[in-house]
């Protein structure tokens, strides 16, 4: 039986190329658990060829004037926006996210970052500095690209993450070999073709497919200058160790167990809406999710009552239905993992199951029953020592923890090895700033949750990452600085002179 999409090959040196490994895997529609396409796996020889193509292209692209680079990237952003719905439909089938999300977020925010960095370099953002050191001496700096870089994508926001990595990489004058997640690989070839159509020279952006072994070969390759990885903490630590061992630059955007603190004066509906966005958007498959919701003890009854009422607005169903806002989990292996956490929370942690639990969402159509669907789940009366509270689940599982004082909530919120995101809901702006200042996380929000615009540098503290993505700060980790001191005095100061 023919699959919905043709076989995906590799893309390097400006064109689609067959893999030489002779091996393939299938990408699966998580809503129905049916295959979408065969994906060819890159061999080591294929990866070498892609890296060599990127290396050849670097000598040209790195010397391309900023304004010329900017025009190509701006054209690519325009093409992405023109094909938004077409790309979003593929993202929905590949990732399991509702079309109401992929069509309004995934492609749009990726194109925003591409346009942001195009405008940044076109407007002189990579210009160096000049300093008059003294009357007859001055210092100037230059920002130079690194070389061939590797981007390893994640499965939860496939094309958005590919653009977050490639936009800044290419804007800085580097070239990239990109590996999509093996769970959501369909976007890779599409993005490469759009870059080529926009005028990107052959070899500047390349795509290879495969699982962890392909990623490991990429990150340890001697011709690679930098690795940018998005994924779970344990894998990121291995990738960072491999890259750092050969003095490669790294950017790591890893997982979290983020706290959301609801202060006693918070507006109830806003607090509940924030908690739901921080747990159930993208079916909870967001690294910054605020899965530890700290609620004042005296707000227990009204908070839980309003939360239960609003859970009725989480609508699982056909992914292209305008009413659907909740999809399946991304893969069978992840589905089993999340179910095990829900089972553990109920049977071992003995948390109170307020809503959801094991089983499929109610009223799920028959043709979706085989998919990787779970219920939006809420545990309450949780304690800090529970496994569901300590470990990243990466699914729609909220843990509510009650506290007596805000200082106590902050202390408990910081009691984790991770520090990706955090947030606070309060009407008191002074309190908001005080609490945010104390929270040990790299991304923080006040009276909102989840938005990461192109202008906002984002990255984790502790084990949640290294470096930042987006914003002016994001490009600094894709360039290296060269400082030059020029002496115009006509003489060389020396201590080796005749006495």
- Tell me the CB-side half-sphere exposure of residue 350, using CA atoms within 13 A: 1
| Cα 305 → chain centroid | 33
Q: Per residue in 378-410, pLDDT tens?
A: 999 999 999 999 999 999 999 999 999 999 999
**pLDDT for position 246:** 84
Cα separation, 284 vs 338, whole angstroms: 10
Examine the pLDDT at 239 and tell me if it is beyond 90: no
The pLDDT of residue 284: 97
Provide the 10 A C-beta neighbour count for residue 340. 11
Domain 259-446 has CATH 3.40.630.10: no
* 135-185 tens-digit pLDDT: 999 999 999 999 999 999 999 999 999 999 999 999 999 999 999 999 999
Task: Dump pLDDT digits (tens) for 408-457.
Answer: 999 999 999 999 999 999 999 999 999 999 999 999 999 999 999 999 99
Split at pLDDT 50, 70, 90, the class of 236 is: confident
pLDDT in tens, 281-329: 999 999 999 999 999 999 999 999 999 999 999 999 999 999 999 999 9
331 Cα distance to chain centroid? 18
> Which position among 91, 101, 253, 392 bears the catalytic label?
253
pTM value?
A: 0.95
Break the chain into its structural domains and give their ranges: 10-255+464-484, 259-446
At 499 the pLDDT is: 86
Return the pLDDT at 424.
98
Three-state secondary structure call for residue 496: coil
Q: Which two tokens stand for residue 431?
A: 């309190």
Does pLDDT of 374 surpass 90?
yes
Q: Is the pLDDT of residue 244 over 90?
A: no
pLDDT of residue 1 exceeding 80: no
Burial 95-107 (b: 16+ CB within 10 A, else e): bbbbbbbbbebbb
Q: Enumerate long-range contacts of 408-411, CB under 8 Å, 24 or more apart.
A: 409/259, 409/261, 409/294, 410/261, 410/435, 410/438, 410/439
Spacing of C-alpha 32 from chain mean position:
25
| CA distance linking residue 164 with residue 171, whole number of Å | 11
What percent of the chain stands above pLDDT 90? 96
Single out the residue of 416, 490, 492 nearest to residue 460, CA to CA: 416
The whole-number pLDDT of residue 243 equals 82
In this prediction, residue 242 carries a pLDDT of 81
> Residue 374 — φ and ψ, nearest 5°?
-130, 165
Confidence bin at 344 (pLDDT 50/70/90): very high
Q: For residue 76, is pLDDT > 80?
A: yes
CATH topology of domain 10-255+464-484: Aldehyde Dehydrogenase; Chain A, domain 1 (3.40.605)
Residue range 79-107: mean pLDDT, rounded: 98
Tally of CA atoms within 13 A in the half-sphere of 322 that contains its CB:
0
Per-residue 3-state assignment (H helix, E strand, C coil) for 368-422: HCCCCCCCCEEEECCCCCCHHHHCCCCCCEEEEEEECCHHHHHHHHCCCCEECEE
Given a cut of 90, whether residue 240 has pLDDT beyond it is: no
Distance CA 58, CA 145 (A): 9
Would you call 451 a catalytic residue per the annotation?
A: no
| Angstrom distance (rounded) from CA 261 to CA 425 | 6
Nearest CA among 35, 7, 24 for reference residue 370: 35
Tell me the average pLDDT of the chain: 97
Radius of gyration of the chain (CA): 24
């Amino acid at each position: 039986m023919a699959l919905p999409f043709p076989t995906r090959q590799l893309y390097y040196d400006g064109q689609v190329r067959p893999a030489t490994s002779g091996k393939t895997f299938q990408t699966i529609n998580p809503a129905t658990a049916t295959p979408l396409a065969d994906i060819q796996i890159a061999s080591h020889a294929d990866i070498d060829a892609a890296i060599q193509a990127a290396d050849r292209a670097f000598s040209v692209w790195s010397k391309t004037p900023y304004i010329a680079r900017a025009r190509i990237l701006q054209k690519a952003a325009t093409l992405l926006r023109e094909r938004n719905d077409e790309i979003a439909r593929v993202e929905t089938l590949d990732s399991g996210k509702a079309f109401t999300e992929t069509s309004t977020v995934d492609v749009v925010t990726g194109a925003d970052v591409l346009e942001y960095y195009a405008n940044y370099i076109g407007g002189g953002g990579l210009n160096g500095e000049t300093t008059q050191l003294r009357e007859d001496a001055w210092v100037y700096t230059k920002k130079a690209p690194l070389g061939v870089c590797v981007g390893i994508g994640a499965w939860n926001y496939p094309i958005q993450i590919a653009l977050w990595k490639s936009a800044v990489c290419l804007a800085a004058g580097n070239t990239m070999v990109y590996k999509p997640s093996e769970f959501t690989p369909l976007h890779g070839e599409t993005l490469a073709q759009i870059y080529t159509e926009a005028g990107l020279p052959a070899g500047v952006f390349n795509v290879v497919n495969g699982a962890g072994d392909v990623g490991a070969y990429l990150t340890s390759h001697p011709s690679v200058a930098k690795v940018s990885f998005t994924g779970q903490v344990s894998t990121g630590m291995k990738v960072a160790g491999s890259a750092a061992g050969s003095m490669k630059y790294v950017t790591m955007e890893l997982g979290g167990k983020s706290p959301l603190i609801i202060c006693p004066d918070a507006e109830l509906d806003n607090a509940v809406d924030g908690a739901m966005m921080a747990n159930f958007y993208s079916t909870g498959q967001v690294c910054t999710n605020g899965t530890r919701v700290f609620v004042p003890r005296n707000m227990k009854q009204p908070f839980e009552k309003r939360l239960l009422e609003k859970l009725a607005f989480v609508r699982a169903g056909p992914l292209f239905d305008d009413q659907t806002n909740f999809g399946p989990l991304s893969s069978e292996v992840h589905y089993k993992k999340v179910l095990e956490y829900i089972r553990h929370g109920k049977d071992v942690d003995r948390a109170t199951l307020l809503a959801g639990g094991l089983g499929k969402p109610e009223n799920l159509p028959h043709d979706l029953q085989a998919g990787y669907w779970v219920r939006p789940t809420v545990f309450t009366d949780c304690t800090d020592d529970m496994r569901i509270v300590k470990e990243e689940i990466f699914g729609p599982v909220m843990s509510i923890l009650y506290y007596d004082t805000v200082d106590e909530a902050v202390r408990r919120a910081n009691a984790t090895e991770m520090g990706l995101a955090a947030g606070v809901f309060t009407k008191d702006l002074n309190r908001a700033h005080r609490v945010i200042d104390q929270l040990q996380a790299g991304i923080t929000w006040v009276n909102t949750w989840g938005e990461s615009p192109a202008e906002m540098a984002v990255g984790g503290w502790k084990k949640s990452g290294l470096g930042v993505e987006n914003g002016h700060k994001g490009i600094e980790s894709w360039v290296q600085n060269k400082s030059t001191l020029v002496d115009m005095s006509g003489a060389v100061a020396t201590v080796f002179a005749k006495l």
